[in-house]
Amino acid sequence: MADFRVGSSVAVIVDTVSADYVGPMRLQQHDRAALAGEAGEGPRLAMGLLVAAAEAMGADGLLDISGAHIDSCLYHGQAGLDFASLLAAAGARVAVPTTLNVSSLDLLHPDLYRGSEAVRVAARDQMDAYERMGCKPTWTCAPYQLLDRPSLGEQVAWGESNAIVFANSVLGARTERYGDFLDICCAITGRAPAVGLHTEAGRRASFELAVDVPAEWGDNELLYVAVGHILGQVAGTRVGLITGLDDRATEDRLKALGAAAASSGAVAMFHVSGVTPEAESIEHAIAQVVPVDRDRIASALAALGPSESDLSAVSVGTPHASADELETLAGLCAGQTTAIPFYVNTGRDVLDSVGDAVGLIEAFGATIVTDTCTYITPILSDTPGAVMTNSGKWAYYAPANLGVEVVMGTLADCVESAVTGRTITRGVLS
């Protein structure tokens, strides 16, 4: 044990692994040096946790990473703040370019926050601690929408389930499913466990999800949400190969698919035959074929958004809306006015990159939310009825997080419903 006093509730730091590690993993000399504290107290703590976690994951050793995305910056209680404060006070700095996920606060629109002052202060302290460690204040759950994103084969350590599945599946970058705490340990050490999705063998699909639906359904954004929701239910933690989709599965649609799959299951990677970069280059080992027909798609959508209550709000942009999605929304809502609260979540960098679209969306009466998301922090005004969304992820988590009922609709349904104040679900596949 090392006596290292920080903050209010942390008294004594219990070491996770000893400096003279004798476990089963082969560690490099510089890993051992970090473990022994030669790079300072911050890297020592980070390397200790990384080694313990890597061993639990069955890794033989560690590998170099070229970037990280940190989910740990979102406040969930004192433990996360204590951890961040401890590392920052111990002088930890990230060793690779590192982006930050959403937090509990919208720093660009601080008036939107309706939570307690105590939580606001704690959440801000936690955000500051990660900035002090050298992370970039990107505050987005969609770091793959930033200009600088990892490319095919690049080893990274990403947190945030939707970002993890996108990085692996759509970009072909290699990351395991990094939980809070471990993501920043990788960033500080510049190392990650050499295991699982970091290796070719870990990226093979073991089952096929065979989608067989009417051809025109491929033009409907909710098809991808439903396929993702079903994928998560079927996959557990397995990698799956989706067949029956085509190049209408754009990045934004794959984003929606992955986010839904990483909500209903622990999906960290999928392949789409003919679409994603490793679908054909990897030798899969398919042991099961799961058929998905139109009835299954329709019932998945009905299960995600079953509410028949009156509509009280709309929330879109989970994961954070891309520039294309903001442009599409602007086109749909131009010249109209929403009759109910309408929230659009997006990243601050994406918001900066779009021009007239922002003005059109604001003229419509929508509230633009950055740096956070409407399902993780108190932003929504009172919602006596249902909230409509086009996001499978939002639909999955909002009922438990916010206590709201959800109804699914396409982006066009969301706009039309908001203008009329009535639930309109023309686009929902059935």
Partner 1 sequence: MKVLVAGSATGPLLRLGEGLSFWGGFDPALGTISDRAHPQFGESLAGKVVAMPHGRGSSSSSSVLAEALRLGTGPSALVLDHPDSILVIGALVAQMLYDVSCPVVVGEIAGSDGEIVTVEG
> Nearer to partner 1 by C-beta: 255 or 418?
255
Q: Whole-number minimum distance, CB 374 to partner 1, in Å?
A: 14
Amino acid at 17: V
Query: What pairs with residue 346 in β-bridges?
Result: 321, 370
Binding residues for partner 1 restricted to 187-246, rule: CB under 8 A: 193, 232, 236-237
The DSSP letter of residue 319 is: E
Q: Whole-number minimum distance, CB 33 to partner 1, in Å?
A: 20
In angstroms, the CA 334 to CA 362 distance is 10
Which among 14-22, 104-112, 218-226, 361-369 is the span making contact with partner 1, rule CB under 8 A? 14-22
CA-based angle 64:193:66, to the nearest 5?
A: 25
Q: Whole-number minimum distance, CB 185 to partner 1, in Å?
A: 8
List, in sequence order, every beta strand (DSSP E) within 26-107: 62-64, 68-70, 98-100
Which among 143-151, 159-167, 200-208, 339-347 is the span making contact with partner 1, rule CB under 8 A? 159-167
Q: Whole-number minimum distance, CB 424 to partner 1, in Å?
A: 26
User: For residue 303, what are the contacts with CB-CB under 8 A and spacing of at least 6?
Assistant: 229
Does 8 help bind partner 1 (rule: CB under 8 A)?
no
> Nearer to partner 1 by C-beta: 49 or 171?
49
Following DSSP, what letter does each residue of 389-422 receive, concatenated?
ES-HHHHHHHHHHH--EEEE--HHHHHHHHHHTS
> Nearer to partner 1 by C-beta: 113 or 181?
181
In angstroms, the CA 146 to CA 139 distance is 11
Please tell me the count of residues contacting partner 1 according to CB under 8 A. Answer: 52
In angstroms, the CA 53 to CA 276 distance is 30
String of contacts with partner 1 for each residue 47-76, x by CB under 8 A: -xx--xx--xxx------------xx-x-x
Does 349 help bind partner 1 (rule: CB under 8 A)?
no
Which among 109-117, 128-136, 158-166, 353-361 is the span making contact with partner 1, rule CB under 8 A? 158-166
CB 282 within 8 A of CB 204: yes
Does 166 help bind partner 1 (rule: CB under 8 A)?
no
Q: Whole-number minimum distance, CB 164 to partner 1, in Å?
A: 7
Tell whether omega for the bond before 319 is within 30 degrees of 0, i.e. cis.
yes
Query: What pairs with residue 408 in β-bridges?
Result: 389
Q: Would you state the structure tokens that stand for residue 402, as one six-digit string?
A: 């916010």
Q: How many CB atoms lie within 10 A of CB 422?
A: 12
Binding residues for partner 1 restricted to 399-418, rule: CB under 8 A: 399-401
The residues of the shown chain that bind partner 1, judged by CB under 8 A, are: 9-10, 12-16, 45, 48-49, 52-53, 56-58, 71-72, 74, 76-80, 82-83, 86, 159-161, 164, 176-183, 193, 232, 236-237, 262-266, 396-397, 399-401
